[in-house]
Amino acid sequence: RTPLVIDTDPGIDDALAVLLALASLEVDLQLVTTVHGNVGLPETTENALRVLHLAGRSDVPVAAGARTSLVFPQPERAGHVHGTAGLGGVVLPPSPAAVDPRPAVVALAELLLASEQPVTVAAIGPLTNIALLIGVYPEAAARIGRLVVMGGSATRGGNVTAAAEFNVWADPEAAAAVFGAGLPTVLVGLDVTLPTVLTAEGIARFAAAGPVGDRAAAILQQYVDHARSSYGVDGVVVHDALALTEAIVPGTLTSVRRDVVVDTGHGAGRGQTLVDRRTPSASATAVAVAEDVDSEAAVEFLVSRLCELAAR
């Protein structure tokens, strides 16, 4: 089993992503690190603890990371999408576990340096913690086996501004540092997440499979309502869960190595990922950009894994 760390800002789709990892025997979730993002750090950390407890896995350590972006504070949170406490208005029972006393970067560095096997890191929030790891513990960052990032957009424009995807927009300086670090990075952006829609029918399947599935469906309800009222779509895009699918089964998405530049200016393009799609890149700092997805298979993977978790 591949050792896995999830760096996350739960967040509705983050919660689904964590549950998907726990449902998947290909990976061994050894650490969750939390970051500011959808809501503030105290909420994302509490939510991470509670989601793990929901799945009976409060043994997985949770270490809290950055409270704010590297340089400029994120302009606003995403409470209108995820609910002010982050889990769509659902209050999960508190976990008996306490937060790990170590800062996220310390916990992550220690795990990377101690692991005998290459570790996959799935980063599904703003990239502040990962940028700090690269800056403070470069020798640990260099040991990351795969870094799967939910972030950016090559062809779809943005979701939080016309130009920018939320996780990159929330800390563009951190994203620039991470994408330029020469790590084995896969970028799972809006190009592949937006076409991958989880429908009400899929949600109903895991809701009926057991209490964990029922709670997961309840957490999703606010996302479903938001999608219907904002975009007129029936179904939800669970961005972070698709990134986890690629972390769990490498190669699920078709990726091409590209040069990616993050717009760190202060104009309308701030947080945009400029992906050079003219030709695949041979540069050492290129990242693999996910460009194609079998959305039906990806949704079926998520739904069936959540059904299995709920039936355990």
Residues 111-130 vs Ca ion: string with x where CB under 5 A? -------------xx-----
Residues 185-204 vs ligand BDR: string with x where CB under 6 A? --------------------
310 forms part of the interface with ligand BDR (CB under 6 A): no
Residue 21 burial (CB count, 10 A): 28
153 forms part of the interface with ligand BDR (CB under 6 A): no
- Interface with ligand BDR: number of residues (CB under 6 A): 15
| Residue 7 buriedness (CB in 10 A; 0-12 / 13-18 / 19+) | buried
Q: Decide: 171 and 131 in contact? Cβ < 8 Å.
A: yes
Select 125 or 202, whichever has its Cβ closest to ligand BDR: 125
| Contact of residue 78 among Ca ion, ligand BDR, none (CB under 5-8 Å per partner type) | ligand BDR
Selected binder of ligand BDR within 77, 205, 239, 305 (CB under 6 A) = 239
The crossing angle, in degrees rounded to 10, of helices 128-136 and 172-179 is 50
Residue 259: strand, helix, or coil? strand
> Which residues 11-40 are close enough to bind ligand BDR by CB under 6 A?
11, 13-14, 38
Phi (first) and psi of residue 49, to 5 degrees: -60, -45
Q: Decide: 75 and 105 in contact? Cβ < 8 Å.
A: no
Selected binder of ligand BDR within 33, 47, 167, 252 (CB under 6 A) = 167
83 forms part of the interface with Ca ion (CB under 5 A): no
11 forms part of the interface with Ca ion (CB under 5 A): yes
| Contact of residue 291 among ligand BDR, Ca ion, none (CB under 5-8 Å per partner type) | none
Which runs of E-coded beta strand occur in 41-174? 62-64, 119-123, 144-150
In the complex, the smallest distance separating the C-beta of residue 13 from ligand BDR, rounded to whole angstroms, is: 5
Is residue 239 annotated as part of the catalytic site, yes or no? yes
Nearest to 224 by CA among 195, 199, 242: 199
> Which residues 192-251 are close enough to bind Ca ion by CB under 5 A?
240
How large is the C-alpha radius of gyration of the chain?
18
Residue reference for tokens 């970028």: 187
- What residue is closest to ligand BDR based on CB? 166
Q: Look up residue 134 and give its amino acid.
A: I
| Contact of residue 159 among ligand BDR, Ca ion, none (CB under 5-8 Å per partner type) | ligand BDR
Select 11 or 202, whichever has its Cβ closest to Ca ion: 11
Q: Rounded CA gap, 140 and 134, in Å?
A: 8
The number of helix segments (H) and strand segments (E) in the chain equals 13, 11
Phi (first) and psi of residue 223, to 5 degrees: -65, -40
Distance of CA 152 to the CA centre of its chain: 12
Catalytic residue among 36, 82, 226, 239: 239
In the complex, the smallest distance separating the C-beta of residue 86 from Ca ion, rounded to whole angstroms, is: 10
> Which residues 111-140 are close enough to bind ligand BDR by CB under 6 A?
124-125
Catalytic residues: 239
In the complex, which residues of this chain contact ligand BDR (CB under 6 A)? 11, 13-14, 38, 78, 81, 124-125, 150, 159, 165-167, 239-240
